Chain A
Amino acid sequence: MSAFEELRGERRAIVSGIGQSQVGRRIYRDPLDLTVDAALEAIADAGLDPSDIDGIATYPGNMEIPPGFSGVGVTELQDALRLELNWFAGGMELPGQLGAVVNAVLAVSAGLCDHVLCFRTVWEASAQGDQGRASVTMGGGGGAYRASSFMQWTLPFGAASAANWIGMMAQRHFHEYGTTREQLAQIALNARANAALNPKAIYRDPMTMDDYLSVRMISTPLCLYDCDAPADGSTAVVISRVEHAAALDHPAARVEAMGTALRGRPSWDQFDDLTTMALRDASAMLWERSDLTPADVDVAELYDGFSFITLCWLEALGFCAQGEGGAFIEGGGAIARDGLLPLNTHGGQLSAGRLHGFGFLHEACVQLWGRGDERQVVRPGGRDPEVAVVGAGGGPLGGCLLLTKGR
């Protein structure tokens, strides 16, 4: 057994508490104000006082551009709560948004700190105002703005948005495997059906296949309902040492395995197989680090910044074979709350709002801890969910966590 297989250091860490601020469209609240709400709720949920927090990890750190994409970094939160930290990290060159959680798990497992507050705050809905996403994508630049880094290869061609880049991946998947819009629609329809049971979801009205097929196109084959809903909100979790589980008044979420690999070219248009994404490699690594298998998973919370990304996660994580994602989700039965694999049980980012990765982790804990109320998943035979997989990110960045319910 290699050291890689033997150490599995992530098992020294748990998710001990979760918190989430008010979530909505254009609620025009200061992002730091939202962040402290989520943070204090998560700290209390973990049975802790702010003075117990000795680490902070966040994605993507404080950024001015694009507006609303961030706005709160490590230092703002540390100062707002006057936390005394032994360790901290904020940034975005990570295996997806959950890379911040990966960092926290590593820091706790290494003994650098005991309790890490991890958060992700977005206020894109307010920042975009009435101008829509285009105002954000352009980075506020006009006139003599010149594109550099990756954007130089796409922006001159009007490929300004991930909708275009993901649209091209989806088109290739449709071409190679015969995937259809009616199949892809099930990601959006399933999300909306689940959102109806989530009081914090942004879009809760029923959505039909006709609604989906008749809404306007954004970038073929992706229509408006394939794109997530910009939102304002903050989500926080506390990562603690596994010994802390005994002190909780609720189950812990144990970190069974993490997937963080990047093996293909880190690019939206240069990745070797454009019907997959970097999450393919992160997913493979996840199962290399666990004795559990896809058949053990009770709930799957998989990133849907665009519906097609979720389809990629389903294939990559082995819930179906490569190329068979369309058939797997066809009709929606397999991914429904009472189906083979309950998926995005809070409504995902498509209907519950673009909380950017952390919403999925929050929901996985809600389900593992039996807090789902109306939307609580009950597995066949009346069993409570015990294993959850969370995947976040798309295109060149992705990371995933396998969580188990445990004391």
Chain B
Amino acid sequence: MSDKPFRVLPRLTDANEPFWLGGAEGELRFWRCQDCGYRLHPPGPICPRCRTKHLAVEAVSGKGTVFTYTINHQPWIPTFDPPYVVAIVELAEQDDLRLTTNIVGCDPDEVTIGMPVRVTFEHYDDNGYEVWLPLFEPDVAGGAA
């Protein structure tokens, strides 16, 4: 996937904009409960742990590990050509803070569960409708910022 494939883009809302636009400043952002520290994904209006609405947007390190993955071989979307790796990445900051993404920057066969990865953003501009998709690549430095 060196050339950017066509991607269906997310419909932006007040709640999800921090996630989908954070990449403009190189940050992976989530809503976080300011009382108990729990990070929400997908976003919601209330902390599901302590059920207070004291939420604010915070960036995470963008580092995590591959929780699970699949190599997709089926052409579902025109110009989004297989094979490509769909993965669920678990972020370093919180055990259940996971997101679905792609693993890029390596051969699909090199991806393993538990592999350290870091975020890399892919910018899309569809006639002024801009989104930064968080993709993940092998974190070969294993901890370097």
Q: Indicate if the CB atoms of A220 and B100 lie closer than 8 Å.
A: no
Question: Chain B residues near A157 (CB, 8 Å)?
Answer: 7, 86, 100-102, 133, 135
The number of residues on chain A lying at the interface, defined by a beta carbon within 8 Å of a beta carbon of chain B, is 39
CA distance A163 to B131 in the complex (A): 26
Mostly helix, strand, loop or mixed at chain B's interface?
strand
Q: Indicate if the CB atoms of B68 and A152 lie closer than 8 Å.
A: no
Question: Chain A residues near B86 (CB, 8 Å)?
Answer: 154, 157-159, 164, 167-168, 219
- Contact partner, B71, options A153, A156, A220, A272, Cβ 8 Å: A220
Q: Indicate if the CB atoms of B73 and A148 lie closer than 8 Å.
A: no
CA distance A222 to B84 in the complex (A): 14
CA distance A339 to B55 in the complex (A): 55
Question: Chain B residues near A168 (CB, 8 Å)?
Answer: 68-70, 86-88
Q: Does B126 contact A (CB under 8 A)?
A: yes
How far apart are B49's CB and chain A's nearest CB, in angstroms? 13
Q: Indicate if the CB atoms of B73 and A218 lie closer than 8 Å.
A: yes
Q: With contacts defined as CB atoms under 8 Å apart, how many contacts are there between chain A and chain B in the complex? A: 118
Q: Indicate if the CB atoms of B71 and A219 lie closer than 8 Å.
A: yes
How far apart are B89's CB and chain A's nearest CB, in angstroms? 10
Q: Does A77 contact B (CB under 8 A)?
A: no
- Contact partner, A146, options B5, B10, B42, B72, Cβ 8 Å: B10
Identify the closest chain B residue to A267 (Cβ): B42
Q: Does B98 contact A (CB under 8 A)?
A: yes
Q: Does A239 contact B (CB under 8 A)?
A: no
CA distance A168 to B84 in the complex (A): 13
Over the window 42-74 of chain B, the binary record of Cβ atoms lying under 8 Å from chain A Cβ atoms (1 yes, 0 no) is 100000000000000000000000011111111
Identify the closest chain B residue to A135 (Cβ): B76
A148-B88 contact given A134-B75, A159-B100, A172-B67, CB 8 Å threshold: no
- Contact partner, B96, options A156, A169, A217, A272, Cβ 8 Å: A272
CA distance A175 to B70 in the complex (A): 12
Q: Indicate if the CB atoms of A153 and B99 lie closer than 8 Å.
A: yes
Question: Chain A residues near B131 (CB, 8 Å)?
Answer: 156
Among listed A120-128, A137-145, A190-198, A375-383, interface-contacting one: A137-145
How far apart are A65's CB and chain B's nearest CB, in angstroms? 14
Q: Does B8 contact A (CB under 8 A)?
A: yes
- Contact partner, B100, options A141, A216, A269, A272, Cβ 8 Å: A269
Q: Indicate if the CB atoms of A156 and B76 lie closer than 8 Å.
A: no
Question: Chain B residues near A217 (CB, 8 Å)?
Answer: 71, 73
A219-B74 contact given A159-B100, A168-B86, A169-B68, CB 8 Å threshold: yes
CA distance A146 to B75 in the complex (A): 19
Q: Indicate if the CB atoms of B42 and A153 lie closer than 8 Å.
A: yes
Question: Chain A residues near B99 (CB, 8 Å)?
Answer: 153, 269
Q: Indicate if the CB atoms of A146 and B87 lie closer than 8 Å.
A: no
Question: Chain B residues near A159 (CB, 8 Å)?
Answer: 72, 86, 100
- Contact partner, A270, options B13, B41, B77, B135, Cβ 8 Å: B41
Q: Indicate if the CB atoms of A164 and B70 lie closer than 8 Å.
A: yes
Q: Does A276 contact B (CB under 8 A)?
A: no
- Contact partner, A147, options B10, B69, B80, B126, Cβ 8 Å: B10
Question: Chain A residues near B70 (CB, 8 Å)?
Answer: 164, 167-168, 171, 219-222
Q: Indicate if the CB atoms of B113 and A156 lie closer than 8 Å.
A: no
| CB interface residues, B 1-39, toward A, < 8 Å | 5, 7-13, 16
- Contact partner, A171, options B42, B69, B96, B126, Cβ 8 Å: B69
Over the window 100-125 of chain B, the binary record of Cβ atoms lying under 8 Å from chain A Cβ atoms (1 yes, 0 no) is 11100000000001000000000000
Q: Does A161 contact B (CB under 8 A)?
A: yes
- Contact partner, B74, options A144, A155, A161, Cβ 8 Å: A161
CA distance A217 to B85 in the complex (A): 13
Q: Does A160 contact B (CB under 8 A)?
A: yes
How far apart are A67's CB and chain B's nearest CB, in angstroms? 16
Q: 7 A–B contact pairs at CB < 8 A? A: A147-B10, A148-B10, A148-B11, A156-B131, A158-B72, A158-B102, A272-B96
4 closest A-B pairs by beta carbon, nearest first, are: A167-B70, A146-B11, A160-B76, A152-B10
